[in-house]
Amino acid sequence: MHIEDSRPASKTDIARLEHKLDGNISRLDGNISRLDGNISRLDQKIDRVASAVVKLQSEVTEIKQTMSTKEDINRILNAIDSF
């Protein structure tokens, strides 16, 4: 059946359309399944990245707490020089 055609659809037209729609639905179902798999893999990657960021933040905090500043080093060198 053509859109320009003003006649009612025949049983054959309807059957052809159903077959075409079934094929489209099957392809869409396959696409959805692939997307679901992609989303699962991305979720796993995001979890790994988030864990790495948390670990990195912890390490940076530790470094900041234990490192000496330029001012600290100058104070130590001045104390040594004054002996």
For 36-55, write each residue's pLDDT tens digit: 999 999 999 999 999 999 99
CB within 8 A of 68, min separation 6: which ones? 76
Question: What does the mean pLDDT of the chain come to?
Answer: 93
Share of the chain above pLDDT 70, in %: 95
**DSSP reduced 3-state for 12:** helix
Give the per-residue pLDDT at 1.
47
Check: CB of residue 9 under 8 Å from CB of residue 17: yes
Check: CB of residue 18 under 8 Å from CB of residue 30: no
pLDDT higher than 70, residue 16: yes
Q: Which of 32-36, 39-43, 79-83 has the lowest mean pLDDT?
A: 79-83
